[in-house]
Every structure is written in C-alpha cells, then in structure tokens.
Amino acid sequence: MKFWAKAFRDNRMTADTVVEDLSADTRTHKVFGALETISYRFDIPRPIWLDSNIADFKRYSKVRFYADSFIEEVPFDYLEFMVLEEDMG
C-alpha cells in the first residue's frame, strides 16, 4: 500500500510525503504504521481519530485531520492523509 500525506496552511500545501508499506500486515496496521511514519517525518504528534475521521476514511480512503485532532499545536491548518495505492491480493 502507498499513502500520501499533505500539510496545508492558508490553502497552500506546505509539506508532503509518500509512505509505502509492502508488509503482509492488515490494512488497519498499515494505516496506523504510515501515520506514525508521517508524524515522525513532519515532527508532529500522531492525530486522534474522531468518529468523523473514521467515517471519511472508510468511505473515501482519505481523511483530513484538523487542529482538534492533535493534542499539541501543529504548524498547519490541516493534514490530508489518503491511500494512493491499495494492495491487490
């Protein structure tokens, strides 16, 4: 699976990164692992999954984490996290 994360401030992308996970882990483990990697790369805390985030991700394989999804202050307005490539198997 491949994931893409993009940070936006004032409607401009300020940072982005792609994470690839080729392991045999479950989809859920891959999602959480990718978010952990992204948090490390962006030097931010891991976001908290709210019910609305979970629903959006299940429906669209894409989610936006706003400031209320983070315990600490973050240097962007929102973080967009999406699945770029799904495993075929």
**What does the radius of gyration of the chain's CA atoms come to, in whole angstroms?**
13
Which pLDDT band holds residue 87 (cuts at 50, 70, 90)?
confident
State residue 17's pLDDT score. Answer: 97
Asked if residues 77 and 66 have their Cβ atoms less than 8 Å apart, the reply is yes
Per-residue pLDDT tens over the stretch 38-71:
999 999 999 999 999 999 999 999 999 998 899 9
CA 29 – CA 11 distance, rounded (Å) = 30
Which residues, other chains included, contact 36 with Cβ-Cβ below 8 Å and sequence gap of 6+? 46
State residue 89's pLDDT score. Answer: 57
The pLDDT > 70 percentage for the chain reads 98
Classify the phi-psi angles of 4: left when phi > 0, otherwise alpha if psi is within -120 to 50, otherwise beta: beta
Q: Tell me the mean pLDDT in the region 7-27.
A: 96
